[in-house]
Amino acid sequence: MIAQGRVQGVGFRWGVYTLALEIGGITGRVWNNDDGTVEILAQADSSATMAKFIQEIRKGPTPFSKVTYLDVQMSNFSSYSDFKVAN
């Protein structure tokens, strides 16, 4: 997923991390891109869990963040055993 909008400098990555832990069952990584977007690689065993995670990210996981566009794409990547903030 790539989030655009007011997503850097507002605690967005830590909000995504906290959200993943609160929902539970989500593993992956989140990091800032040089173009001002935030990228999220996330996986869950349940499609309902992933749908809830995506819905909450669209709302903005922190009070000062504002997601104007969230590009969600299916992709293949290495499995993670936890969720972490990268860079």
Based on the residue annotation, tell me whether 32 is a catalytic residue of this protein: yes
Based on the residue annotation, tell me whether 76 is a catalytic residue of this protein: no
The amino acid at residue 48 is A
- Token code pair at residue 43: 């996986």
Query: Of 6, 32, 33, 58, which residue is the catalytic one?
Result: 32
Query: Of 13, 29, 33, 58, which residue is the catalytic one?
Result: 13
H helical segments located in 12-68: 12-23, 47-59
CA 9 – CA 21 distance, rounded (Å): 21
Active site residues: 13, 32
